[in-house]
């Protein structure tokens, strides 16, 4: 488990924790998580395929260093870069042929008003690939994006 606090100065501090579990069927954990500043990423390697844990780690790693902007275009570009990286690695490492992962990412965008009277983020940008939706929780109501 990891707990990380956002390093950005803001009125509201984000605290996040991570934990993964192998589950009841698999014997290995193919999950990867990453948090940096206001970017949160979870990848779940494709179980039953070779290299799922490698694909998940690769996807998270690329997003952690490759996200240049927290808006939709920036997140899409980073996800595409992660996909290319996974495909390129599988092409040069035959043991990883067919590897894959699902991915969910959430980027919190700071308030654009500069007004400290409104401490909440202006927007949240989410990305999801595979069968894992991103969910929003507010007052005991969950919404899948």
Render pLDDT for 26-41 as a digit per residue (tens, 0 to 9).
778 888 999 887 788 9
What CATH number is attached to the domain comprising 130? Answer: 3.60.40.10
Question: Would residue 40 count as lying in a domain?
Answer: yes
pLDDT band for position 115 (cuts 50, 70, 90): very low
Q: CA angle, 35 as apex, 124 and 60 as ends, to 5°?
A: 100
Coil, strand or helix: which one is 2? strand
pLDDT band for position 10 (cuts 50, 70, 90): low
Domain that holds residue 43: 28-139
- Which of 4-13, 55-64, 80-89 is predicted with the least confidence, judged by mean pLDDT? 4-13
Count of structural domains within the chain: 1
pLDDT band for position 76 (cuts 50, 70, 90): confident
Question: Would residue 23 count as lying in a domain?
Answer: no
pLDDT at 110: 59
């Amino acid at each position: 488990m990891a707990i990380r606090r956002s390093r950005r100065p803001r009125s509201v501090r984000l605290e996040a924790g991570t934990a993964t579990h192998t589950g009841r069927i698999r014997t290995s954990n193919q999950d990867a998580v990453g948090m940096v500043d206001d970017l949160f990423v979870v990848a779940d390697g494709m179980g039953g395929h070779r290299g799922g844990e490698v694909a998940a780690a690769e996807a998270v790693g690329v997003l952690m260093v490759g996200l240049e902007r927290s808006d939709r275009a920036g997140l899409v570009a980073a996800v595409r870069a992660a996909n290319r990286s996974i495909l390129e690695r599988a092409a040069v490492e035959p043991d990883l042929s067919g590897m894959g992962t699902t991915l969910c990412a959430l980027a919190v965008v700071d308030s654009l008003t500069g007004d400290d009277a409104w401490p909440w983020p202006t927007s949240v940008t989410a990305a999801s690939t595979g069968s894992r939706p991103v969910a929003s929780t507010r007052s005991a109501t969950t919404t899948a994006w």
